[in-house]
A = this chain, B = another copy of it.
Amino acid sequence: MSENKQDLDLIIVGSIGLDDVETPNEKRTELLGGSVSYACVASSRYVKTGMVGIVGADFPERYHELYAKQNIDLQGLEQVEGKTFRWGGVYDADFINRTTIFTDLNVFETFSPKLPDAYQSVPYLLLGNISPDLQLSVLDQCKDVSFVVADTMDLWINIALDSLKQVIGRVDMLMLNDSEAELLTGHRGVRKASEAILSMGPRYVVVKRGEHGAMLFSPEGIFIVPAYPVTDVVDPTGAGDSFAGGFLGDLAARGEVTETNLRQALLTGSVVASFNVESFSLDRLSELSSEDIAARTAELAAMMQA
């Protein structure tokens, strides 16, 4: 926590949770999870990343150490009295669909992100999947951010549409999955839905398609990035968050938002997410070498070569 504040390239805000995850093969409890955990561990290998989130007094010291070891800036990590946000879910036999068993918001219920001074003038910002009102309050605190990505989900489309539309009108890129894009716009099909979202303000839309990858809709056209076909999925939790973090970390490291850089960074996001699903929690992601990522990125690029 003594990092040089001038070094910060990317701020990520989102949830931090202790997860109980059950797959068809195994059950694990009190895993480090939450959107900001996955996204920051994914991004911090590319650029200096500041984390904005909240945990309770019960947050295990070993998880704190994991963040620090990944060289994540923790000035924006608040620890307060009470219990950390907890989530429990069970995956179906397909490892894709899941059922939420419990969601205990705990300290997350009254979370009101306050950005440290050093976080207010950082070029890249990822608004992880939290309520649009919190996303707006973070946006209000940013002085001269140059590229903002917001993630969202069906819950906010259903219960906070007006605030979400304000967010969409103020960000450079919206990220969401295909069914959410259709729900948000009322259009059937990813192409029509994405074009409708572009007309709501953002310059870019990224539609996540789970085990099928993602699509970028930009003024220069459409880019389809496949998911890397992993041999064994162990736990899909955090795939979308590590995709977002890997993407934006790599993009920030490239230093300029161009179509080519966006496409290369999406490829990176896809590869990082594919490693993430090969273990529970951040086990695989936190131990990855740059060589692992480079090798798989080359492999995925070759799979896209007609």
A interface residue numbers (CB < 8 A to B): 93-95, 188-192, 209, 212, 215, 221-226, 229-233, 263-264, 266-267, 301-306
Contacts and interface: CB of A to CB of B under 8 A. Distances in A.
A173 to B, nearest CB: 18
A95 B264 CA distance: 32
A225 B306 contact: yes
Contact of A191 (B224, B229, B305): B229
A95 B188 contact: yes
5 contacts: A189-B233, A192-B232, A209-B212, A221-B302, A304-B306
B224 A190 contact: no
B229 A306 contact: no
A190 B229 contact: yes
A222 B215 contact: no
A306 B301 contact: yes
Nearest to A260: B306
Nearest to A297: B306
Given A212-B209, A212-B212, A189 B303 contact: no
A303 B225 CA distance: 9
Contacts of A188: 93-95, 233
A221 B221 CA distance: 28
Nearest to A220: B302
Given A209-B212, A212-B209, A306-B304, A189 B232 contact: yes
A306 B264 contact: yes
Which of A226, A231, A233, A302: most chain B Cβ within 10 A? A226
Given A209-B212, A212-B209, A212-B212, A304 B191 contact: no
A303 B190 CA distance: 14
A303 B213 CA distance: 13
A136 to B, nearest CB: 31
B304 A221 contact: no
B222 A229 contact: yes
Nearest to A215: B229
A224 B266 CA distance: 16
Pick the 4 closest A-B CB pairs, nearest first: A212-B212, A224-B226, A191-B229, A263-B306
A85 to B, nearest CB: 31
Given A188-B233, A224-B303, A304-B304, 11 more contacts: A189-B229, A189-B231, A189-B232, A191-B230, A221-B303, A223-B305, A224-B226, A263-B305, A263-B306, A266-B306, A267-B306
